[in-house]
């Protein structure tokens, strides 16, 4: 067993340990055990562990667990992204609905004000018309009186 075998084993073990921590979320104890196993298997090179294929089995198992955890984390990420998107969308819809409701309320108030002003205008026109009719009758009576006075003379 040479230095290259130990270095190669430690390199693989370290890489596997880092990969397991990042992708799988496994505890440190499990990562350490897996990296030690990979180091031992790598340090023996073509020794008896490789004959049994234990080294490859450990690598496959680590990759399998890593990809399984990675797949689970993608599902969780997808769910979280969906929750965030739904929340943002609902917030925007509620905000838009509130603004639209306020606009409708404002326009209803304006319509009521215009209707009131229109009604007041109609009432004022009717009052003006009544006043004009009264003044017309008064002027006709005055005119009749003046004609009567003029006929007497």
Can you give the residue range of the structural domain that contains 59? Answer: 3-152
pLDDT for 85 equals: 94
Residue 126 CB neighbours (<10 A): 10
pLDDT for 134 equals: 96
| Mean pLDDT to the nearest integer, 76-100 | 93
Residue from 65, 11, 20, 64 nearest 38 by CA: 11
Give residue 29's pLDDT band: very low, low, confident or very high (50, 70, 90). low
Which value, in Å, is the radius of gyration of the alpha carbons in the chain?
Answer: 48
**Whole-angstrom distance, CA of residue 63 vs CA of residue 38:** 12
Angle of helix 54-152 relative to helix 3-19, nearest 10 degrees?
30
Give the pair of three-digit tokens for residue 110: 């304006």
- pTM of this prediction exceeds 0.95: no
**Whole-angstrom distance, CA of residue 40 vs CA of residue 24:** 22
Number of domains in the chain: 1
């Amino acid at each position: 067993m040479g230095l290259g075998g130990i270095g190669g084993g430690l390199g693989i073990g370290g890489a596997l340990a880092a990969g397991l921590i990042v992708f799988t979320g496994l505890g440190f104890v499990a990562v350490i055990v897996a990296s030690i196993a990979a180091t031992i298997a790598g340090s023996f090179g073509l020794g008896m562990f490789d004959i049994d294929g234990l080294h490859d089995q450990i690598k496959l198992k680590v990759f399998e667990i890593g990809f399984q955890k990675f797949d689970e984390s993608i599902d969780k990420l997808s769910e979280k992204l969906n929750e965030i998107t739904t929340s943002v969308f609902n917030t925007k819809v509620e905000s838009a609905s509130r603004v639209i409701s306020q606009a409708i309320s404002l326009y209803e108030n304006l319509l009521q004000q215009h209707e009131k002003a229109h009604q007041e205008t109609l009432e004022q026109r009717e009052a003006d018309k009544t006043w004009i009719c009264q003044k017309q009758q008064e002027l006709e009576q005055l005119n009749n009186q003046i004609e009567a006075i003029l006929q007497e003379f």
